[in-house]
Amino acid sequence: MTTVFNDPTQFAQEMLSGFCRLHADTVQPVTGGCVRATDTPEGKVAVVIGGGSGHYPAFAGWVGPGMADGAVVGNVFASPSAQQVHAVAKAAQRGGGVFLSYGNYAGDVLNFDLAQERLNAEGIPTRTVVVADDITSASAEERHKRRGTTGDLVVFKIAGAAAEAGYDLDGVVEVAQRANDATYSFAVAFAGCTLPGDPDPLFTVPKGRMGVGMGVHGEPGIAEEDVLPAADLARMLVEKVLTERPDGARRAAVLVNGLGGTKYEEMFVLWNDIAPLLEDAGVQIVAPEVGELITSLDMAGVSLTLFWLDEELEKLWVAPAQTPAFRRGSAITTTRRDPAAIEDATTVTYPESTTESQASARALLAIGQRVAAALHEHETELGKLDSIAGDGDHGRGMTSGADAALKALTEAVEARAGAASALAAAGDAWGDRAGGTSGALWGAGLRAAAGELTDDSAVTGAQVRAAVRAALEHILSYGKAERGDKTLLDALIPFTEALEQDEGELAQAWAAAAQVATTEADATADLTPRIGRARPLAERSIGHPDPGAISLALVMRTAAR
C-alpha cells in the first residue's frame, strides 16, 4: 500500500518537488516536469521523455548527460497534458530539435502528438518514437498496438546516447526506432498496486497465484497461473520472450525489472536462473540490468526484457550516462546551466488587439462564467453517468477544465487580449487541468477554434461557424473515434452540421443546433461504445447516454443562453 503522502491529489507534484530538491545538482524543476540542471551544447537534439507518475525511476530519474534532457511528469498513472509536454520541451530544447518518446498509451499519444504539432508550428522541429515492447498486449503483426513497459529505458538510453554523441534529429529517430523494434518484454505480478489515498489495490491476485502478462498501470494480466519456483519462473519468462527472437540475433542487452514490491534479493535469485537459460539458448548477454527500472507503485512483480543488438546499438547501449537513477561508464564532466537561461514556456504574452476584438473576448468570458457554473451544477450527475461503464471522473474533469479555462479567460481579458488569444489561452488551460482523453480533446478543440478567430476585429457569425468546424476536424484527427462510437462526437458532429446549415442570425442558429445536439446526446443511450474506456464494459452502458456527449450538449445549450 502507498502510505506516505499528504493530500493524495498532490502526490505527483510533491514527489517531483522532493526529487528535484534532492538532486538539485542534476535536475531543475520547470512547469510540467524537470530538465537538466547541467549545461548542454547549442544545437544538440533535446531528448524529452515522460508519462504518468508512479513509475520511478521513470521518468525524472533518467534526466542527465547521456540520457534525457527533460522529463514530463503527469499525475499518478495519468498522461501529462499537451501543455506540460510543450513547456518541458521548450525549456529543454537547444536549437537542434526535440525528440519525444513515451510508452504507447492512448492519453500519452494524444497529448504528446498535440504538443509535437504545436512545437513544429513554432519552428521547433519535433519527432517522436512511441515505445511498444510488451509482447502480451498485441500480436507481432500489430506491434504498433503494444504497450510500452521496460522498453522505455532501452529506447530512452539509445536516443540519449545518440543525441549526446552529436546525431542530428533524423539520426536520433532512426536509432531509437530501431531499438524499439528490437525490444521485447513480458511480465508477471503477485499482487496489485494501491493508489495514494485508496484503501484497496487496483486488482488482487488469489494467494498462490500470479497474474501473467502485466502492464505498468495497475491493470490485471491476461491470465492467472500458479506461483512458480524461481527456476521455473525464469524458464517461463525466457521462453516467452524468445518466441519473437529475430533471425540470426545473438547479442542482447537483458533487463530484469522489479515492478515496485519485489525485493532486489528476489530479483538476484531470478537472474541466477535466467542468465544460464539465455546462455544455453545462444544469447550473448551485454551490459545487463537487474533492479527497479520502471515500476507500478507498490505492485509486486517482475518482467524480463531482451533488447537485440547490432554494432551501433551496442555502442550506444554501453555509452556513458549520468542521471540520478541510471549511471554507466566514467563520470561525465559537466557545468551547471544558468537557471535564468532556461526558457519559461508558461509566460503568457498577448499580441496587440483592437477594442472590437477585446469586446468579443469579454463576451467569451461571460459565456465561460455560465458554462463553468452549469458544469458545477451537473458535476455529480455527470460523474454518476460516467461510473456506469467508466471510472466516474467525467464530472470532476469537466469542472476542472472549465474552471481553468475561466481563469485563463479572466486573465486574458484583464490583459486586454483579443478574442483569438483569449480562446487559445482557455483551450490550453482546459487541456492542462481537465485530465484524461476528454480533457485533451476539449483543449485541442478550443485551440483549433481560436485559429479561426482574430485579434484584429469583432467575431462574426461566419468565423464562429468556421471555428466550430475547425474544432470538430481537429478532434476527429486526434480522437480516432467516429459518429456512432458513443462519444462526444455523437453530439458535436450533429451540432456542427446544424449550425452550418442554418445561415440565419447566429444566436438563434446556435440555440437550434444546441437542441439538435441534446437530442442526439440523449439518443446515445441506444448505442454500444466501440472506443474509449467504456468499451470493455459496453453492456453496462446500454440504456444510458454517453457522459461526454451529454456534457457537450450541456455546454452548447448554456452558451446559447
Q: Please list the active-site residues.
A: 217
**Nearest Cα to Cα of residue 253 among 195, 206, 318:** 318
Query: What type of residue sits at position 390?
Result: G
- Cis before 495 (ω within 30): no
Residue 554: φ, ψ to 5°: -60, -45
In this structure, what is the dihedral angle of CA atoms 362, 365, 366, 368, given to the nearest 10 degrees?
160
The residues, any chain, with a CB within 8 Å of residue 403's CB and separated by 6 or more, are: 372, 433
Residue 40: φ, ψ to 5°: -135, 150
The owner of cell 452502458 is: 541
The owner of cell 537459460 is: 277
| Coil, helix or strand at residue 52 | strand
Residue 280: φ, ψ to 5°: -65, -25
Residue 394 is given by DSSP the state H
On whether the CB atoms of residues 235 and 281 are closer than 8 A, the answer is no
C-alpha grid cell, residue 501:
446549415
Q: Are strands 126-131 and 98-103 parallel, antiparallel or unpaired?
A: parallel
Q: Where are the beta strands (DSSP E) in 173-299?
A: 183-191, 209-212, 223-226, 251-258, 284-285, 289-291
